[in-house]
Amino acid sequence: MSTGSTGQERCQVDKPRFLVLILLVIIGVESVALALLIPQMRTSQMPVQLTSVNPQNFVVPFDQFNQPISNDTEYALQQPKNGSWLMVLSSHLTAADRTPKTEAQVSIAPEYPSENLSIPTIIVQERADGLLRIEYFAQDWPRSYGMVLFNSTIPVMENVTLKFVSYGPPVPVNPQLAPRPNGNLTILVGESVVLSDFPIAWANFSSFYAYGLLGSEFTAGEMYVTVYDFTARAP
């Protein structure tokens, strides 16, 4: 009887020690696994450098901005851009009227049967009195006001650069509710970064519309627009 009791007592004493030993082994295995995986995770998350390629050049004449938006004001890209892209606008427009009603606008939109439902949209606005405004619309017009990304008075809209870097699949066109961001937008005016890595939801970039306000009066000049693809390369 005493021998059996002693064996049971030893088992009861050794059982907690055994459980502790098992836990220590598990912790050790997990530590080794994390030590091996963390460098790989850091490597996979290293930033990639993007190079602009495949430029498409457009020249928009001044009289294009003397009419309101319509399907006739569309400039289509050779192929919709579903990932990262870069757009450079350089304005050399001459206005007869320096009032706010004389305004040139460029709307960047995804591919969709109806122009007014081509959303998400980015609109760049240059007024004859020197105002430059850039707005972003994330969902359909009746349910949304534009988010002003940049608003300032400068002499002319020269070298305005929009850079969208995608980190997810394209969002649906004409969403009823604003989707989650799938990329970052950076804006440069001249050499100055005025907005850096701002998260937005974006569908695709298939065309842009060049138009003005009713009553706009530009008399000469043009706007140069260049659109690039982005391709990743090793840093």
Residue 152's DSSP bridge partners are 132
Q: Consecutive 10-residue runs of the chain (235 residues): their mean pLDDT? A: 51 60 60 42 45 88 85 81 92 83 88 76 89 86 76 73 92 83 93 92 91 88 91 56
Measured distance CA(214)–CA(119) in Å, rounded: 23
Tell me, what's the pLDDT at 136?
Answer: 92
CB contact at 8 A, 167 and 185 = no
- Residue 124: exposure state from Cβ atoms within 10 A (0-12, 13-18, ≥19): buried
Extended strands (E) in the chain: 49-61, 74-81, 85-95, 103-109, 121-127, 131-137, 147-153, 160-166, 183-189, 192-200, 205-212, 218-233
